[in-house]
Amino acid sequence: MNRIYALTLILLAACSSTPTPASFFDAAPVTSTPNLGITPEAIPPPSATPPATEAFSGFAPEAGELYFFLQPRVGGGVIELVKVSALCVTDPINCPPLERIPAPFAFNFTINALAWSRDGRYAAFSYSNQPNGTPQQLWLFDANARTWKAIAEFPYIDPPFWSPDGTWIAFRTQNGAGGEEVFIIRPDGTEMKNIGADLPAEGSPYIMDGWYTENVIMRSALPGAHGNIYLVRAANGQSRPMFETLLTKAQFIASPDAGFFAYDEYDYNSQVHFVKVMEPDGANAETIAQFTGGSIYPMLWSPDSKLIAFNYYGNLTGGNPVAEVFIIPRAGGELKSVYKGNTVGRLLFSPSGKYLVIEETTSSTGGHLFLVDLASASVGILQAPGLSTDYDWYAPSWRP
């Protein structure tokens, strides 16, 4: 991912309350393309080799594994899926070597992060095994066996979402000519059904924002008052407006305990972003942070539903955009800055919630993953034997 492309995306994002992600490799599910209709864009050539970066150590222990993609910074190589032990987050000197994960297709087009089941056994991933990028398959990756199984196929498939109990995978499809459908499917590939038929046609195209209890959240991509946000019941496909009143166009992010929604409410007149938390029925909305100008993306909850992390882009029109990652308690309070960089594509909490992984796509060392110890506010770059800054690192996911 070159820097010119990343900065272009940021400038475009300045006009929207839900900006496009900075990373070419992480076109996140909340900003899936409403209507493709064309062959997926090929991955651009890598940029120049970055300067070396010093190792980082000193974290407390963490569990699980980090998966991400490596793009060579010198032409001639191929993009690979790799993993490192979470021990590398806490002890880069004694951590096991980086491992490469074979896949039954080449990584030639836009790449999204793997979507993990809650138990960490499987990951869902939409990608094409065809040279022109279509049709695309919904793949189930068995992390223990290292096997891939295609469980669905459509012309285009947006990034998938697991249901909270891990029994369903939801995904949106496109036919390339403006048509779209919403499906759920069992992880073994059975019982696939279309649940989007009840969505109002006038709100199309839609964006899938994930699950809320037994419902799939679908957000209209239309501007202004023509759009709305709907809960689609997985059991029967029945859809209903998420709230009684039409709120501003925003992505509503459900907390892991399903007790709250976080969102960025943008006032186009004052150009102020209000980071808000409210109850699921739309009641008791509270502003916990606000910013003038710029844009906010991405935003996520900590695993215990007590903290919210988000990235704020400032100085978008000044020629030197700045990305700053903040942490704030759910109920408001101290707004703590934990990272400053150029373009942040993705944020991840570790399973324990002690650490935050930041995908920086245009740092001085290229596209890499930075680690924040939330207790000490220490920041360092991910290190592991065999992991070189001669590669860009993109689209991270944490297998619990």
pLDDT at 162 over 60: yes
- Convert the pLDDT of each residue in 302-348 to its tens digit: 999 999 999 999 876 666 779 999 999 999 999 999 999 989 999 99
Instruction: Name the residue range of residue 378's domain.
Output: 3-399
- Convert the pLDDT of each residue in 198-248 to its tens digit: 999 988 999 999 999 999 999 998 876 556 889 999 999 999 998 865 555
**Mean per-residue pLDDT, 356-369:** 88
CA–CA separation, 286 and 276 (whole Å): 5
- Convert the pLDDT of each residue in 385-400 to its tens digit: 999 999 999 999 999 9
- Convert the pLDDT of each residue in 77-90 to its tens digit: 899 999 999 999 98
Residue 69's pLDDT is: 98
| Contact in structure between 23 and 346 (CB atoms under 8 Å) | yes
- Convert the pLDDT of each residue in 16-61 to its tens digit: 333 333 333 433 333 343 443 444 666 665 544 433 334 444 555 7
Q: Which amino acid is at 74?
A: V
Residue 224's pLDDT is: 62
Using CA atoms, how far residue 380 sits from 84, 133, 142, 216, 370, in Å, is 16, 36, 30, 36, 6
Residue 212's pLDDT is: 95
CA 192 to chain centre: 24
Residue 320's pLDDT is: 76
Task: Give which of 212, 245, 207, 249 is closest to 227, Cα–Cα.
Answer: 249
Counting every residue written for the chain, the total comes to 400
Q: What is the CATH number of the domain that holds 168?
A: 2.120.10.30
CA–CA separation, 298 and 223 (whole Å): 20
| Contact in structure between 142 and 119 (CB atoms under 8 Å) | no
**Mean per-residue pLDDT, 124-150:** 97
pLDDT at 253 over 60: yes
**Mean per-residue pLDDT, 110-114:** 96
Residue 227's pLDDT is: 67
pLDDT, greater one: 150 or 39: 150
Residue 2 — pLDDT band, cuts 50, 70, 90?
very low
- Convert the pLDDT of each residue in 274-308 to its tens digit: 999 999 888 899 999 999 999 999 999 999 999 99
Residue 321's pLDDT is: 76
Q: How many domains does the chain have?
A: 1
